[in-house]
Amino acid sequence: MGIILIGSSLLYTYYVSPVDKKSQADIELVIEPGMSTKQIGELLEKRGLIKSSKFFLVYTKINNCASLKASTYDLKKSMNMGEIVKNICSGNSYNSNVIRITFKEGKRITDYAKVISEKLNVNYEEVINIMNDTNYLKSLQQDYWFLTNDIFDSRIYYPLEGYLAPDTYEFSKDSSVKEIIQVMLDQTAKNLSSYRSLNNIHKYITLASMAELEGVNTKDRKMIVGVFNNRLAANMNLGSDVTTYYAFQKNMTGDLTAKEFATSNPYNTRASDMAGKLPVGPICSVSKSSIDASINPTANDYYYFVADKNGKIYYNKTSSGHLQTIKEIKEAGNWIW
pLDDT band at 8 (very low <50, low <70, confident <90, very high): low
Q: Is residue 337 part of a domain?
A: no
Q: In angstroms, what CA-CA distances link 146 with 113, 254, 263?
A: 21, 34, 31
Residue 185 — very low, low, confident or very high, per pLDDT cuts 50/70/90?
A: very high
- Same-domain status, 145 and 264: no
Are 219 and 272 found together in one domain? yes
Q: Report the 10 Å Cβ neighbour count for 226.
A: 20
* Stronger pLDDT, 301 or 13, i.e. the higher one: 301
Residues 220, 182 within the same domain:
no
Quote the pLDDT of residue 96.
63
Q: Is residue 2 part of a domain?
A: no
CATH number of the domain bearing residue 74: 3.30.1490.480
Let me know if residue 1 belongs to a domain: no
Better pLDDT: 210 or 75: 210
**Considering the chain, what percentage of its residues have pLDDT values greater than 90?**
72
Residue 13: the pLDDT is 81
**Is the predicted pLDDT of residue 6 greater than 50, yes or no?**
no
What pLDDT, on a 0 to 100 scale, did the predictor assign at position 15? 86
Asked if residue 318 and residue 232 are part of one domain, the reply reads yes
pLDDT at position 108: 99
Q: Which of 96, 125, 152 is the last residue of a domain?
A: 96
Residue 6 lies inside a defined structural domain of this protein:
no
pLDDT of residue 45: 95
Could you tell me if residue 148 is inside a domain? yes
- DSSP string covering 240-270: -HHHHHHHTT--TTSPPPHHHHHS--TT-TT
85 and 122 both lie in a single domain: no
Residue 3 lies in a domain: no
d(CA 29, CA 213): 45
Shared-domain flag, residues 167 and 272: no
Q: Which residues of 89-120 are buried (b: 16+ CB within 10 A; e: fewer)?
A: beeebbeeeebebebebbbbbeebbebbbeeb
230 or 23: whose pLDDT is higher?
230
Q: Which domain holds residue 187?
A: 99-195
Question: Do residues 131 and 109 lie in contact, with contact meaning Cβ atoms separated by under 8 Å?
Answer: yes
Domain termination residue (choose one: 147, 176, 195): 195
Both 207 and 269 in one domain: the answer is yes
Phi–psi pair at 5, nearest 5 degrees: -65, -45
134 with 254, same domain?
A: no
Question: Which pLDDT score, from 0 to 100, does residue 98 have?
Answer: 77
**Does 130 reside within a domain?**
yes
Per the structure, the count of domains in the chain is 3
**181 and 223 fall within a common domain:** no
**% of the chain residues with pLDDT over 70:** 95
Quick one: 77 and 166 in the same domain?
no
Which of 163, 195, 227 terminates a domain? The answer is 195
* Cα distance between residue 19 and residue 7, in whole Å: 20
Mean pLDDT of 53-70: 83
Let me know if residue 275 belongs to a domain. yes
The span from the CA of 58 to the CA of 16, in Å, is 11
Confidence (pLDDT) at 28: 82
State yes or no: pLDDT of 1 exceeds 50: no
Residues 219 and 259 in one domain: yes
Residue 19 has pLDDT above 80, yes or no: yes
Which amino acid, one-letter code, is at 46? K
Average pLDDT over residues 287-293: 97
Domain shared by 191 and 141, yes or no: yes
